[in-house]
Amino acid sequence: MRVYNFSAGPAMLPEPVLRTVREELLDWHGIGSSIIEVSHRGKHFSEVIARAEADLRKLLSIPEDYAVLFLQGGATLQFSAIPMNLLGGGSADYVVTGAWSQKAFVEAQRIAPVLGGRVRLAGSTEESGFTRAPRPEELSLDPEARYVHVCTNETIHGVEWLELEALQASGVPLVADMSSHLLSRPIDVRRFGLIYAGAQKNIGPAGLTLVIVRRDLMALPWEGTPPVLRHDRMAENGSMLNTPPTFAIYVAGLVFQWLESLGGLAAMAQRNEAKARLLYECIDATPFYRNAVEPRWRSWMNVPFRLADESLNERFLQEAEAAGLKYLKGHKMVGGMRASIYNAMPREGVEALVAFLRDFAARHA
């Protein structure tokens, strides 16, 4: 029996995609083996990766002057690779709005001196407990910076922000960690210099990292950068300087086809907004539960919440699991609960969670 899986990642994948994988695993399109048992440079896998890239370009309307890279190492490796590729001995601004942008900033601080460059903290919402996006007047931006780094959906704190005009005013390229909401709604790729995301939430299985980068920004890699971490070298080699994560790319390609079949990202946005509204309304309806994020900045993807009486936490998790609602425990850094409701979570899953939340509150209030 499949359960409703609220894990932040690796997360639920669309059931039709998993069915296709199961069907195709012994014999992909009549070739007598699976697609993960053939050369990544052969005809069959070349078709798979080319179609995946074309479908992704279509879903996000990615312009031709942006490269699409299928990489490994997770979003975490990009915390180092991005300064290696973009810093060029200059300075970069980092805005910290939660645990993930903090980690990116700490890594950039560590590596910048090695690269002969600098990083600055251009704004932080830590004093609010990471419950909102920064206000324009809280940002101190360097117009000469090589890039400004943000995380547009903080998976742990549940803050999502795409109102980035204040950051873009000076024309400094914006670099965004979109690991936990890429493909959940339309975005205008042109507003960004580089977008990156680990795949294991909305894109596909773990092991794949997507980078979408404006080609002119690949011109200044630090010369000590290992070739597989160089965006320019990977772009020149079709993401195949070495063996790419073929299984993850294949499944991600199926996810792109699934998204297209449902009407693309505008349709996903409608579904995701409606699912999130249902859940936040339920949480706000009773003091039994609480989500601390300012409503305007609440994530459609990751919904952290706490019980007013935290002595009930264990009981809550046990009963939820018994009801087929799994992995609701919050990240250890913040505690409490978290429901991740990515693209593959059906509305029925959120409805089942809401019914459980109401019932649990009624029984324990």
Binding residues: 41, 75-76, 100, 155, 177, 200, 242-243
Give whichever of 225 and 302 is closer to ligand PLP, judged by the CB atom: 302
Q: State yes or no: residue 207 binds ligand PLP (CB under 6 A).
A: no
Backbone angles phi, psi at 214, to 5 degrees: -65, 130
Which two three-digit tokens encode residue 259? Answer: 């998204």
User: Exposure string (b/e) for 253-285, b if CB count within 10 Å is 16 or more?
Assistant: bbbbbbbeeeebbeebeebbeebbeebbebbee
DSSP letter at 244 equals: -
String of contacts with ligand PLP for each residue 84-123, x by CB under 6 A:
----------------x-----------------------
Task: Please report how close the Cβ of residue 6 comes to ligand PLP at its closest, in angstroms.
Answer: 14
Task: Please report how close the Cβ of residue 285 comes to ligand PLP at its closest, in angstroms.
Answer: 28
Q: Which of 28, 100, 161, 300 is catalytic?
A: 100
The residue whose two tokens read 């190492």 is 73
Give whichever of 153 and 361 is closer to ligand PLP, judged by the CB atom: 153
Is position 177 annotated as part of the catalytic site? yes
Task: Please report how close the Cβ of residue 243 comes to ligand PLP at its closest, in angstroms.
Answer: 19
User: Exposure string (b/e) for 326-350, b if CB count within 10 Å is 16 or more?
Assistant: ebbbbbeebebbbbbbbbbbbeebb
Cβ-closest position to ligand PLP: 74
Residue count of the chain, please give it: 365
Is there a cis peptide before residue 10, judged by omega within 30 degrees of 0? Answer: yes
Is position 100 annotated as part of the catalytic site? yes
AA identity, residue 230: R
Is position 359 annotated as part of the catalytic site? no
String of contacts with ligand PLP for each residue 317-346, x by CB under 6 A:
------------------------------
DSSP per residue, 64-94: TTEEEEEE-SHHHHHHHHHHHHHTTTSEEEE
How distant, in Å, are the alpha carbons of 77, 94, 134, 135, 359 from that of 109? 14, 10, 21, 24, 47
Q: State yes or no: residue 80 binds ligand PLP (CB under 6 A).
A: no
Task: Please report how close the Cβ of residue 179 comes to ligand PLP at its closest, in angstroms.
Answer: 4
Angle between helices 74-86 and 99-111 (to 10 degrees): 40
Residue 22 to residue 49: CA distance in whole angstroms: 19
Q: Binding segment for ligand PLP among 33-41, 72-80, 184-192, 277-285 (CB under 6 A)?
A: 72-80
Give whichever of 107 and 232 is closer to ligand PLP, judged by the CB atom: 107
Task: Please report how close the Cβ of residue 158 comes to ligand PLP at its closest, in angstroms.
Answer: 11
DSSP letter at 305 equals: E
Backbone angles phi, psi at 196, to 5 degrees: -140, 155
Q: State yes or no: residue 161 binds ligand PLP (CB under 6 A).
A: no
Give whichever of 1 and 333 is closer to ligand PLP, judged by the CB atom: 333
**Binding residues among 167-206 for ligand PLP as defined by CB under 6 A:** 177, 179-180, 198
Q: State yes or no: residue 155 binds ligand PLP (CB under 6 A).
A: yes
- Footprint on this chain of ligand PLP (rule: CB under 6 A): 9, 74-76, 100, 151, 155, 177, 179-180, 198
Q: So which residues are the catalytic ones?
A: 100, 177, 201
